[in-house]
Amino acid sequence: MDIAQAIVMAMQAWGMIGALTAAVFLTIGMDRIDEDAQGAYIFRPLLIPGVLLIWPLVLWRWWQIESEARGWAERYRPVRAGHGAAVIVMSIAIVTIVALGLSVRQEWPADIAPVQLSQGASQ
């Protein structure tokens, strides 16, 4: 088995486990961990692609919420420490990346004439 086949098999296994996780979580788990989602079945198919990709996080968070004894409101209280610094750093990084991307220019070699693809390189 070469590396490409191993990667394809790993992705297939990841997808199958994700599909199983999505089926169980969206039919049973969603109602158990979020009381606002009880009876709301129309939006759940929209969550399938996300659950397929991040199923380990979904399972970990589901287990964490099920095993906690705290109330529903305390579970969803956001963590606010350190977000201000992260916002500033990410904003500076995005502006820097865009500026660097726009400043780097590639020039076409002067001694090579452009050729249409339909004519081919032989002419």
pLDDT in tens, 5-31: 999 999 999 999 999 999 999 988 888
In this predicted structure, what is the pLDDT of residue 120? 57
Higher pLDDT, 69 or 16: 16
pTM for the model stands at 0.54
pLDDT at 100 over 60: yes
CA proximity to 24, closest of 46, 1, 5, 44 = 44
**Sign of the four-CA dihedral 86, 87, 88, 89:** positive
Give the mean pLDDT of 73-77.
62
Higher pLDDT, 75 or 25: 25
Cβ contact 65:33 at 8 Å: yes
Cβ contact 57:64 at 8 Å: no
